[in-house]
Structure 1
Amino acid sequence: MKVVYEAANLIDAHLVKHALEAQEIPVFLQGEALMGGMGELPLFGTILVCVPDVVWPEASAIVSALPLNQPDAASDDDEAPDGASGWLPA
């Protein structure tokens, strides 16, 4: 098994897992059971998405095409009418 993606959180790990499984690539999430552990265990960055060695190149290409950890692009419709950015008072 090779690590194809190191997930920042459980949601990212499952998004990658489902994308790979949709292409019929077997996936193992290493460290999923450790999420939320206390003490010496970090709460984030502990999940590794692993695939068999023979499908790693294909899986790596799929993961690199996914829009992971990218900020959402703001559209022109999202701008405030007066040109102000950020939150407006209630």
Structure 2
Amino acid sequence: MQIAYNARDLTEAHIIAGLLGAHGIDSHVGGHYLQGALGEIGAAGFTNVQVDDEDYLEARRLIAEYEGAATTDGRRIPSADDGSEFYARWFLLLMLAVAVGFVLVL
């Protein structure tokens, strides 16, 4: 299996999986349990949509069409590559540093 799409969140991943399923491509949404790692915070960059190797190119074509159609008022909606993964990683690093500091104080 290959990762066909890195989604911003679970909802977006399932939308993409539904799109692929509607075109006869089986997919798997990964990262369900990673979303809860940050509690109620809308964690980003942890979910992905995977497809079989032979379906990868067709899946990427469909996703590219979907992303091209995702506009409002003629402006493009930011994709999952809008830097949210960068902030999620720094947030996790910060939380790890706080946890280590808390353990050392005890």
Q: Normalization by structure 1: what TM-score?
A: 0.69
Show the counterpart of 1:7. 7
* Runs of 4+ that moved beyond 6 A: none
1:60 matches 2:57? no
Gaps of 5+ in 1: 75-90
Higher normalized helix content (fraction of residues) = 2
Higher CA-based Rg: 1
1:47 matches 2:29? no
Whole-Å separation in 2 of the counterparts to 1:22 and 1:33? 25
Q: What's the Cα RMSD here?
A: 2.3
In the alignment of these two chains, the number of paired residues is 72
State the identity %: 27
Whole-Å separation in 1 of the counterparts to 2:32 and 2:73? 30
Alignment of 1:15-34 (within 5 A): 15-34=15-34
Gaps of 5+ in 2: 75-106
Question: SS state of the match for residue 25, structure 1?
Answer: coil
